[in-house]
Chains A and B, each alone.
Chain A
Amino acid sequence: MSQDPIILRAEAVTKVYPGTLALDKVDFNIRRGKVNVLIGENGAGKSTLMKILSGVEESTSGKLLLEGKEITLKSPRDATRQGIGIIYQELNLFPNLSVSENIFMGREKLSNFGVIDHKAQETIAQGLLKRTQQPISPKSLVADLRIGQQQIVEIAKALAQNAQILIMDEPTSALSQHEVESLFSIIQDLTAQGVSIVYISHKLDELLRIGDFFTILRDGRLVAEAPAAEVSLEWIVEKMVGRSSDSLFHREEHEAKEVLLEVSHLNLPRAGGGMLLDDVSFKLRAGEVLGIYGLMGSGRTELLESLMGLQPQASAAIKLAGKAVSGDIKTRIRSGLALVPEDRQRMGLVQVLSVAKNMTLSSLKRFVRGLALSDTQEKKGVEQMIKELSVKVADPAQLITSLSGGNQQKVVVAKSLLTEPKVLLLDEPTRGIDVAAKGEMFSIMNELSKKGLGMIFVSSELKEIMAMADRVLVLAKGRISADLARADLSEQALVAASAGETVRLAA
């Protein structure tokens, strides 16, 4: 019996939101037992398509054919029943419950007395976890698991519902390199078992590694579909944004200037003993972009937080433009440091406030005239920033949540710049924003560098750090394992150093 190679086909799917056309007659084929990659900038329609496939939203027109038969999905429950599972970027687990309780949430196995049969649940959970080849006990508390393991619990949960199609939205965004590798091997096992994967990510190098079929959306339309053999990085970027990738990631030349920031002997003890940061010392010059590369848990974020005074246990001698820096975050902002935090939603933005009010939050004092905030002064400052960073916003009084991810990020950067910093600390500034917005973020960094700002740029994306950094410090287990000048940068050197090997450069 020959099986149709396409398990699920979306035909001419259109989704209209009031005022917008999110999807315009999109065809999408999910091939059986393959990794089907869905690519597009933010706003291209990926998430809308995903919501339709998982039953969260209904399409305005068009149809879904499962094994050639038309299906309607009115709710996520319908989708689950049809064997379609989804793993969201933000995991939907209960940290206070055990792995097996999470897997059977809402579909508990009951014993004859109508109480939960934990034994049976744990046995089944054990079997599912075995399929993922991960040493996770069904009895352990989800809160005790690493993010990578929690994701595997999500996968097991989907498998428990007999998912034939598994949609993964940015599954690696919170994973370390090691965890990404094990996720990839799980995906390979699953496809070998006949499970079809829909894989959505911004990390193009990962997509090229894992993808079997590529579908690219732009502005709600299907622009290209091709098997892996015909796909290259340049091709993807060109289809996504309609221009070639070289112009997007480019560090402009600049001359070396005076030392601006000097950090010596930064130590940060770990709560349970040992060190999160172990005797870290470095210098940053004016106009320099200093890249910090390292795996999850290597101390990247803690380094920036220590500089900002957010880690009370940290000790260090920090000198900015010749003056010692200490105290709480407010004092440090005043002395010329500013942080663009990693998690935009949780740490960067106040969702209930407008674009303008978010922007001026760190620099309110600047806009006070007499006793009160001056509307005209505030407006002036906001408009200047909107122009400088080309934030796409119709009216600064709009809620911040009405902007796209890339523009929200620009607002966070603008908030930092309004404090008139000398050194800008950027923690994963391109996370979760699309390729075009990344390009814009990098050109903003180039501009700031010309003005003499020093920048510390933390990124877990090799390509970005190699494109943008003048110098890279590699962190491994809280120590600097390599200090590489731009000329010495190579992917191999960075990866090796991040694993804790000391890189010796050929003299």
Chain B
Amino acid sequence: MKGVAAQSRPAFNWRMLLLSFRAYIALIVLAVIFAFLSPAFLTTGNLVILTKQVALNAILGIGMTFVILTAGIDLSVGSIVGLAGMIAGGLINEGLVLPMFGIAIFFNIWIVMLLTLLVGVLVGAINGILITRLNVTPFIATLGTLYVARGVALLRSNGATFPNLVGNPELGNTGFPILGTGTFLGLPIPIWIMVTFALVATFVASKTPFGRQVYAVGGNERAAELSGIRVKRVKLLSYIISGFCAAMVGLIISSQLVAAHPATGETFELNAIAVVVLGGTSLMGGRGTMGGTIIGAFVIGILSNGMVLLGISEFWQTVIKGLVIILAVVVDQLQYRLQQRAALQLKEGAKAL
């Protein structure tokens, strides 16, 4: 019996170790390959551009991770991105129009951003209420708000773009482009925002009661409820966080473009889900980490960036991205099975004691 244990354990652990660090390994391998194939890849300029692109998916993914950890899904984030841009763009260019008084109020740029983020929170709250109070399944509820939010974004300007969002010094609402194009300590501001969001989200998920409750709700909703966790509140908050993150991305994009277009953010929800899943979070809920999501966003980012540098056709890029996502989930399942088996062995071992 001892011989059996001695033979099988070390090999097993080695394989498990490789599997648990697979995302990091994939990241490094990809980076090495592209660095080798394209001299442009490892230049500071390219890495900054790459990280700026990654920031958008990463921030969306952070919000999405909370939702998916509760065993939910948020399809509305792409539309929230578009809606947020239109809200901010409208407030800057047209102000808040109050027809009954025949006036338009122009806000300071900080207030514009705050109001825009509140719109994201509002859509997230609507998702959460539909799901927790009216018992609509997350897929359908957020599919509905996907359409509604996109529709509202289009209605805001009858489908037109809000151009040139630089504000007017006389109205005191200038400075919006700094969010997307400015730098702080040499790094673009979107990267700082991503870092801040990632740190806060990691802290919330792993160190606070709310974070623990998110995992519990996704792992076994009934048991969580019987443990005295207010399941509905936990879910509602998760969708609100997701809406908030999406609105932030909407602000960054419209600031980068110095314009807001109502179609911005289409299919972003799928990218967000992809980076979350690539980061090892289970769509069944209860399993996953924020760090994984960030890594997932970098894997997708490096892949696209590297393939562009190598001149691979855009169509092939799409195919390869899809295959990578599928591969990631297959490997994830493999790891899960190995973990389950390890738990079972511990159990059998405990019985034998």
Contact = CB atoms under 8 A, between A and B. Distances in A.
A229 B340 CA distance: 43
A303 B193 CA distance: 52
B208 A19 contact: no
Given A43-B352, A339-B226, A373-B208, A404 B216 contact: no
B8 A18 contact: yes
B103 interface: no
B225 interface: yes
B227 A362 contact: yes
B183 interface: no
Interface stretch (A113-121, A247-255, A364-372): A364-372
A132 to B, nearest CB: 33
Interface in A86-123: none
Most buried by A among B230, B287, B351: B351
Most buried by B among A219, A341, A361: A361
A352 B219 contact: yes
Given A352-B287, A353-B286, A415-B227, A19 B348 contact: yes
Contacts of B222: 346-347
Interface string B212-246: 11011011101111111110000000000000000
Contacts of B220: 346, 349-352
Contact of B286 (A346, A350, A393): A350
Interface stretch (A271-279, A394-402, A442-450): A394-402
Contacts of A17: 344-345, 348
A307 B256 CA distance: 57
Contacts of B345: 17-20
A6 interface: no
Given A353-B215, A353-B216, A361-B212, A329 B226 contact: yes
Interface in A3-36: 16-22
B207 A401 contact: no
Contact of A402 (B1, B223, B226, B347): B347
B353 interface: yes
Contacts of A385: none
Contacts of B4: 16, 18-21
Contact of A352 (B8, B213, B215, B351): B215
A295 to B, nearest CB: 24
B219 A401 contact: no
A156 to B, nearest CB: 31
A478 to B, nearest CB: 22
Nearest to B6: A19
B349 interface: yes
A419 interface: yes
Nearest to A434: B351
A362 B229 CA distance: 7
Interface in B179-235: 203, 207-209, 212-213, 215-216, 218-220, 222-230
A150 interface: no
Interface in B1-16: 1, 4-5, 8-9, 12
Contacts of A392: 350, 353
Contacts, number: 136
Nearest to B340: A401
A402 B346 contact: yes
Interface string A349-383: 11111000100111011001001110000000000
Contact of B350 (A44, A350, A353, A404): A404
A403 interface: yes
B153 to A, nearest CB: 36
Contacts of A328: 230
B37 interface: no
B257 to A, nearest CB: 36
A393 B346 CA distance: 10
Classify chain A's interface size. 35 or more
A329 B228 CA distance: 6
Given A330-B228, A398-B346, A368 B209 contact: yes
A361 B352 contact: no
Nearest to B12: A18
A82 B36 CA distance: 61
B286 A352 contact: yes
Interface in B313-351: 339-340, 342-351
A138 to B, nearest CB: 33
A220 interface: yes
B226 A419 contact: no
B339 to A, nearest CB: 7
A352 B287 CA distance: 7
A373 B347 CA distance: 29
A231 B12 CA distance: 45
Contact of B223 (A19, A330, A349, A399): A349
Contact of A19 (B9, B230, B286): B9
Contacts of B287: 352
Given A349-B220, A353-B215, A403-B347, A19 B8 contact: yes
Nearest to B221: A350
Given A19-B4, A350-B219, A351-B220, A401 B343 contact: yes
Given A348-B223, A398-B343, A401-B343, A20 B348 contact: yes
A397 B343 CA distance: 12
Contacts of B225: 329
A20 B228 contact: no
Contacts of B286: 350, 352-353
A310 interface: yes
A28 B228 CA distance: 47
A80 interface: no
Interface in A333-348: 333-334, 339, 341, 346-348
A352 B229 CA distance: 16
Contact of A350 (B8, B216, B230, B339): B216
Contacts of A329: 225-226, 228
A350 B224 contact: yes
A481 interface: no
Contact of B339 (A347, A353, A399): A399
A315 to B, nearest CB: 21
A19 B339 contact: no
Nearest to B220: A350
B219 A353 contact: yes
A337 B171 CA distance: 60
A351 B218 CA distance: 10
A353 to B, nearest CB: 6
A364 B213 CA distance: 9
27 contacts: A16-B1, A18-B345, A19-B348, A20-B1, A20-B351, A21-B352, A329-B226, A347-B226, A349-B223, A350-B224, A351-B220, A353-B219, A361-B212, A361-B216, A361-B229, A364-B212, A368-B208, A372-B203, A373-B212, A393-B350, A398-B346, A401-B340, A401-B343, A402-B344, A402-B347, A402-B350, A419-B228
Top 5 nearest A-B pairs (CB, nearest first) are A43-B351, A402-B346, A350-B219, A364-B209, A352-B286
Interface of A: 16-22, 42-44, 219-220, 308, 310, 328-330, 333-334, 339, 341, 346-353, 357, 360-362, 364-365, 368, 371-373, 392-394, 398-399, 401-404, 407, 415, 419
Given A18-B345, A328-B230, A371-B207, 8 more contacts: A19-B4, A19-B9, A330-B230, A349-B223, A353-B215, A353-B286, A403-B347, A403-B350
